[in-house]
Structure 1
């Protein structure tokens, strides 16, 4: 019997999908977040995984890449999203997903995606088995790659970012996005409204983006409160004194009706006005 793992942080979605798939003859297991999904996959093999993008700890695309580059992607994955975009769909397919479906999911679309996903996965495995061994196929490519000089990498510890041109573009892009949002949030007193205006993004999309990058704004605010300097004992910080402004003299000889030049012209440029 085909066994399917459903990974979604919404209990209602897990229950509905489980009921549909069980009635359709599948065996079903569920996981509420990425950590549970990792544990489930480590314990047993699943014939297919239905993976949601937007989850609180690690987003589905990041988990898919983790499985792929960790050599653990030995099962087909169908990505699900209620707020997906063409970019998300393309990234999912590039990272090894067999399909991308949007919520709400119809019964027909769900069952069709699972059947086609299983067929597509088995065809990919068959083609991979018929290809020559990777060592022979990439021997010449490896020699040419060894002749290419390693690209530069720049560390920016103040922003928690390493700009490494040797890394895959999407991995580097995610690190830059994370550093960008965290840096701007720190400068804007952790205001999501100000961040949305600064970044030129809709607030709803911004919330999803920040969450998908693993940024916890509440934790950042709490950390800022903990590390803020405490006021001196017995009172609060003294208010800064108002700066003394230069006094501009006016007279009948130097007025709007009879201008003769600014009083400031009397002061040398290299002296401070007092």
Structure 2
């Protein structure tokens, strides 16, 4: 019996981007095409997983608000265990691994166990969603600051959100569909004008993408009336109305004389 330990593997924390397979980085695509073990989130598009070669082993660690396939500490242990068995592991995450993806926790667990880890950035959900909806998160006439916030965070009412959104600022809320009503109430209570524009972007960059607009005071009604489901992001600020304004201006330019808008 050999006492030689298997060679140490490696963990790659790979961003799958906002959804559309064409928005993968070249490096992410190359890694997937040579992958043997892929530990992936539930929101990763099936077409992205299909880039892996035949015989690759897939492990889904899908999470939802009410159910987790594995708890985070179990995912950390899984990555370490697979790598110590000699495997090169692709940990595939929606968006970017280090933007609300718990990639930092997984990288720390790997380093603590002596497992080499490398991060392959991806287009974050916020950047991809805003671009697909033609909403500029920054604009010289509307916003010079952007803030990303997790809408599912505990103790929402105890946090100070004043200054996160308003004139000259854009606020992007991840995972905020289920808490839309308290989010709107919290922002207005902390000083945001009730008529501040917002956009809810569902299934960004996918064929089923929807962009819904309205004022912050109507956020809960907008989400409920249109039955918005995750994945969805909420963009709040003056920039959320700019694409609509641009379309209206284009329509006026192209309209025959005498047509009223």
How does the TM-score come out when normalised to structure 2? 0.29
Bigger proportion of residues as strand: 2
Bigger proportion of residues as helix: 1
| Higher RCO structure (Cα 8 Å, ≥6 apart) | 2
How does the TM-score come out when normalised to structure 1? 0.28
